[in-house]
Amino acid sequence: MDHDVERILFNEAEIRSGTDRVAAEVTAAYAGRPFTVVSVLKGSCIFASDLIRRIPIPLELAFVSASSYGDGTQSGRLALNFFPAESEIAGRNLLLVDDILDTGKTLSRLVGEMHKRGAAEVRSCVFLDKPARRAVPFRADFRVFEVDDLFVVGYGLDFAGHYRNLPYVGALKRECYERPRSAAR
Ligand code: XMP
């Protein structure tokens, strides 16, 4: 897998210190207020699990699953696969945690859906933010790093289902996502 990475953008130490910084911001924002971290699967599973272990105040954890059917590197039609139970949303302060904020379509849709289901407050926290690609206006309340318009993998982020287990974030070599899908393994 390492051979498919053009260059490392954030190494393990940088990820750790960036996550520490944002965990401290989240802790200060929710001190004394109950809240639920809603991890957006699958991409945020690694970031969310590192983040919550650095937040030393009570929180609950829930999951939502969203996927977009594009051509592998472009966002396409968004499908919401499953939601937390209504009792985990209604009247709660929710912090949506996602791997990357790209066009903004996923998080803006999820914020709307959570409000529709009765959430008291919905905020968002992203590991990466790619502002150059925004198609709908959206600002995350918390973010670890900003990235340029590159296709990135690792630390939960995938291409065609692979590379999520890389411990760092890297830019994928163009030849890896431009070759036929069947060869991208
Ligand atoms: P939107 O466009 O809705 O996208 O903000 C959010 C989802 O798109 C995926 N995405 C990426 N995945 N490398 C990836 O591995 C990327 O550079 C990238 N850009 C967008 C991701 O699933 C994210 O949750």
Q: Residue 98: phi, psi to the nearest 5?
A: -125, 160
Residue 1: count of CB within 10 angstroms of its CB: 13
Contacts 24+ apart (CB under 8 A), 12-18: 12/167, 12/168, 15/50, 15/144, 15/155, 15/168, 15/169, 16/50, 18/144, 18/145
Nearest CA to ligand 1 atom 4: 102
Q: Stretch 123-131: mean pLDDT, rounded?
A: 98
Supply φ then ψ for residue 45, to 5 degrees. Answer: -60, -35
Q: What's the CATH number where 53 sits?
A: 3.40.50.2020
> Mean pLDDT of all residues in the chain?
93
Provide residues with CB under 6 Å of ligand 1: 43, 68, 75, 98-106, 151-153, 157-159
Residue 166 in any domain: the answer is: no
Residue 185 inside a domain? The answer is no
Which pLDDT belongs to residue 72?
63
Range of the domain at 49: 12-148
In this prediction, residues 10-25 reach a mean pLDDT of: 98
Strands 142-146 and 121-129: parallel
Global pTM value:
0.93
Tell me, what's the pLDDT at 79? 87
**Which residue has the CA at smallest separation from atom 14 of ligand 1?**
157
Nearest CA to ligand 1 atom 20: 102
121 in a domain, yes or no? yes
The pLDDT assigned to 182 comes to 47
Q: Which of 71, 102, 148, 158 is catalytic?
A: 102
**Structural domain includes residue 161:** no
Q: How far is the CA of 42 from the centre of ligand 1 (A)?
A: 11
pLDDT band at 178 (very low <50, low <70, confident <90, very high): confident
Considering the domain boundaries, does residue 177 fall inside one? no
Domain count, the chain: 1
> Residues 54-104: pLDDT tens digits?
999 999 999 999 987 666 666 667 888 899 999 999 999 999 999 999 999
At 69 the pLDDT is 64
Residue 113 resides in a domain: yes
Beta strands in 42-120 (DSSP E): 60-69, 77-82, 93-101
Contact between 132 and 104 under an 8 Å Cβ cutoff? The reply is no
Ligand 1 atom nearest to CA at 151: 17
Q: Is 158 a catalytic residue?
A: no
Confidence class for position 177, pLDDT limits 50, 70, 90: confident
